[in-house]
Structure 1
Amino acid sequence: MLRPIDRLTTPQTVIICTNFILGTGILTLPRTALEKVKTPDIWLTIIIAGLISMAVGLIIIKLNEQFPEKSFYEYSGEIMGKWMGKIFNFLFISYFLLICGFHLRSLVMVTSYFLLEGTPSWAIMMPFMWLSVYLAVGGINPIARVFEIIFPITVILLLLVLLMSLKLFEVDYIRPFLGSGILPVLHGIRTTSLSFTGFEIFLFIGVFMKNRKKAKKAVLFGIGIPVVLYIITVILVIGALSIDGVLGRTWPTITLIRSYEITGLIFERFDSLFLVVWIMQMFASFNISHYVASLGLAKTTHKDRKLFVYVTLPLIYVIAMIPKNVDDVFHLGDFVGNIALLLIGVLPFILLVILKMKGKKYEEQPSS
């Protein structure tokens, strides 16, 4: 049984999902999407990828509804069998540990490159890792309350700094509409979909919702908010930097924010302020992944979750230190995204089909 303190409100669930999806993606999406699409119509690709993610999210909710008092870690064995369920549990645990390593290394990379140049990686990692331990030991509710603080700050500041760049915006850079047809837009769906990985968190936190009848609403809003933020970001970044300008930058969103000044304000340049706030966003993605990984180990082995919060730290540190440079970090992100497409894009649907088949068999038995 869940403690009352472990329950989440619908807005908290939406915020956890949104924070997890945003992560590092908003800093790199304009470049990664353009590398595939090659046209300014990537906002259409984002819409299509968002709708696909919503459809898969609703399948996840439908699957959860069959086991209202259990998370995926607990009901996987009931659908697939004890040992197969444990195998998939460990696959998801490994997936979340990889996400931890990716976000932690991305956080270090952005911090050391733009803010604390020359600072050793371990010195940046350690405070964030121990802060994550503090929150994860406390449980899902303290995490949700911290996310409620981070979310409005990051969204308001993101919109503020992007809208202040409108003086650099050139409409011609986002024209013509579908100038190369629809095929380039469709070609970029897979790459863009990687930026929406994170809604799979509903497989594991849906059980914590106070009002599970609003789970569908939560998943739609949890994915819909990043869709809107992504569209605004890519349109303004491409409109200010042009396609060639975006493709030539590793972090195009940060480049845009660094390219203008507003005189007469307390802050004339907003890049450092934006980065400090967005580091909190990356930490949020790291933290919830840390919690879900430790939760999975606890549910699968029937041990104390708090123990695994500590046990997973060395693993996360090793994963975060494996990439040697920026390209390696992005390759790790692509690898994690490809795993997500297999685990989240296919598995929930298959499990739901298996459940339906079992249900049909069960109903047919009395009449035979």
Structure 2
Amino acid sequence: MSTQTLTEKLISKNHMGINIASVTIGVGILTFPRTLAKATSAFDGWISVVLSGAIAYLIAWLLAKLASRFPRQTFFEYTSLIASKPVGYVLTILVCIYTMLFVSFEIRAIGNIAKQYLFYNTPVEMITLSFLLVVQYAVSGSRVALLRLNLLFLPVVLYVMLFVLLFGQPLIDLENVRPYFSSSWSSLLKGTKDVGLSYSGFEIILFYTMLMKRPQEATKSVLLGLLIPTILYLTIYIFVIAVFSAEVAKNLTYPTIELAKEVEVPGGFFERIESIFFTIWIMTIFNTCAMWMDITVLNLTSMFKKVKKMVWIFTLSPVIYLIAMLPQTLIDFFSFGDNLTYYGIVVVYLVPILLLFIAYLRGVKSDG
């Protein structure tokens, strides 16, 4: 009976893939066509999207290999096993800083975009605080229940995106995508780097593999989890360039939302598609924020077992909010996102990959 109950509380390979896809499709998808259009020429940014997706999959595969090597252990536990307990404390705290900063970035993004497109007269501080309180409430509940929300939300988001692209087809001008293959390799590589933030999120495999029914299938989960965003990013970029052209896309703060604004449904049934699009998109960003905050709490409780979960939630929330309010301008905000990406490359990409190689060399495995 206990075994059946435990199995019911665990998540499947496909469910984990959906979680990865959901957390990856966050704020970055609204802005990446602009940064990509600046780095590359005309239509060639699609090459950077594919290259970035391939690199993300390689890194995610290595992270999944590390986590599946220690199937029922937290990040702190298997890091301590590989590199000693003091190193485990340091690395886990660095990861907690990263995940907490990511929550700050996402909730501030919600504040900025909601004020620009939905709540014109509401202070960004109040929008951000309201969203954080909802995220806080979600994290205080069941972890597996939180993850299962993605099964409900992600299909809705994908259907709305398909709806926008379907009715955006009449706006396509093929002249906007010419010339082809005019970008140098250096600009394509720069575009690959710039679109990297949009793929951030697959590193949740490091922390949630222990909740899988078959942790050894984690590598298959990352394939599904990154295939969905890659196809979606590729399609959105093609539409943005084909509708606006690369020159126009460079000057749009949120090209994906602007694309939704241009869409018109025959018969005038929907007047403002971008409002519907953004309202639905809030669900994905909500799940992204909730999972990152949950991971922060998960790592802290794994280190300090005597401190209760709710204590960490109430302690972290004011810090997250204050950090979110630090950027004063959009330039500061996007700079915050770029710096966060570079920090994440070291803390949740390079360091875990190094730990994987150390574990292989030393033959360290889970006892279970």
For 2:68 and 2:277, how far apart are their aligned partners in 1?
39
Corresponding position of 1:285? 288
Provide the residue aligned with 1:136 in structure 2.
Answer: 139
Whole-Å Cα distance in 1 between the matches of residues 314 and 11 of structure 2? 24
- Stretch moving more, 243-252 or 295-304: 295-304
Amino acid at match of 2:238: I
State the match for 2:167 in structure 1.
164
Offset at residue 143 of structure 1 (A) = 0.9
Cα distance, 1:181 vs. partner?
4.0
Match of 2:216 among 213, 216, 222: 213
Is residue 17 of structure 2 the alignment partner of residue 14 of structure 1?
yes
CA distance in 1, matches of 2:240, 2:286: 24
* 1:249-268 correspondence runs (5 A): 249-268=252-271
5 Å-filtered alignment, 1:335-346, equals 335-346=339-350
Q: Is the 8 A contact 2:107 2:128 kept in 1?
A: yes
Matched with 2:242 is: 239
Q: CA deviation at 1:265?
A: 4.6
2:152 partner amino acid: I
State the alpha-carbon separation in 1 of the partners of residues 268 and 147 from structure 2. 33
Tell me how far apart the structure 1 counterparts of residues 226 and 143 of structure 2 sit (CA, whole Å).
20
Aligned residue number for residue 354 of structure 2 = 350
Q: Distance in 1 between matches of 2:20 and 2:142?
A: 16
- Any idea what the Cα deviations from partners look like across 1:47-106, whole Å, max 9, x if unmatched? 111111111111111111221111212211111211111111011100001000000000
Aligned residues: 360
1:87-106 equivalence runs, <5 A: 87-106=90-109
Q: CA deviation at 1:6?
A: 4.4
Listed as ranges, the matches of 1:144-183 within 5 Å are 144-183=147-186
1:32 alignment partner, one of 31, 35, 40: 35
Structure 1: unaligned runs, 5 residues or longer: 361-368
Q: Give the match for residue 190 of structure 1.
A: 193
Note the C-alpha offset of 1:183.
3.4
Instruction: Give the 5 Å matches for 1:54-69.
Output: 54-69=57-72
State yes or no: 1:310 paired with 2:323. no
Does residue 328 (structure 1) correspond to residue 332 (structure 2)? The answer is yes
Residue 137 of structure 1 contacts residue 309 of structure 1 at CA under 8 Å; is this kept in 2?
yes
The separation in 2 between residues aligned to 1:68 and 1:141, in whole angstroms, is 16
Q: Out of 332-341 and 175-184, give the one that drifted further.
A: 175-184
Match of 1:271 in 2: 274
* Matching residue of 1:224: 227
Pair 1:187–1:124, CA change in 2 (3 A): closer
Q: Is the 8 A contact 2:35 2:191 kept in 1?
A: no
Shift of 1:217: 1.4
SS of the equivalent of 1:346 reads helix
142 and 343 in structure 1: CA distance in 2 versus 1, 3 angstrom threshold: same
Summarize the Cα distance change of 1:268–1:150 in structure 2 as closer, same or farther, 3 Å threshold.
same
AA in 1 matched with 2:120: E
Contact 2:44-2:183 within 8 A present in 1 as well:
no
Contact 2:53 2:199 in 1 (8 A): yes
Superposition deviation, residue 243 in structure 1: 0.7
Q: For residues 140 and 12 of structure 1, do their structure 2 counterparts lie closer, same or farther at Cα, with a shift above 3 Å needed?
A: farther
Per the TM alignment, residue 263 of structure 1 is displaced from its structure 2 partner at its CA by 3.2
Query: Does the residue aligned with 1:188 lie in a helix, a strand or coil?
Result: helix
Identity of aligned residues (%): 29
Cα separation, 1, equivalents of 2:183 and 2:23: 33
Q: Is the 8 A contact 1:103 1:286 kept in 2?
A: yes
Aligned counterparts of 1:175 and 1:189: Cα–Cα separation in 2? 20
Q: Which amino acid aligns with 1:242?
A: S
CA distance in 2, matches of 1:248, 1:15: 32
Q: Distance in 2 between matches of 1:100 and 1:187?
A: 26
How far apart, CA to CA, are the structure 2 residues paired with 1:79 and 1:151? 36
Per-residue deviation at 1:31? 0.4
CA distance in 2, matches of 1:136, 1:242: 41
Cα shift at 1:27: 0.6
Contact 1:39 1:184 in 2 (8 A): no
Partner AA of 1:243 in structure 2: A
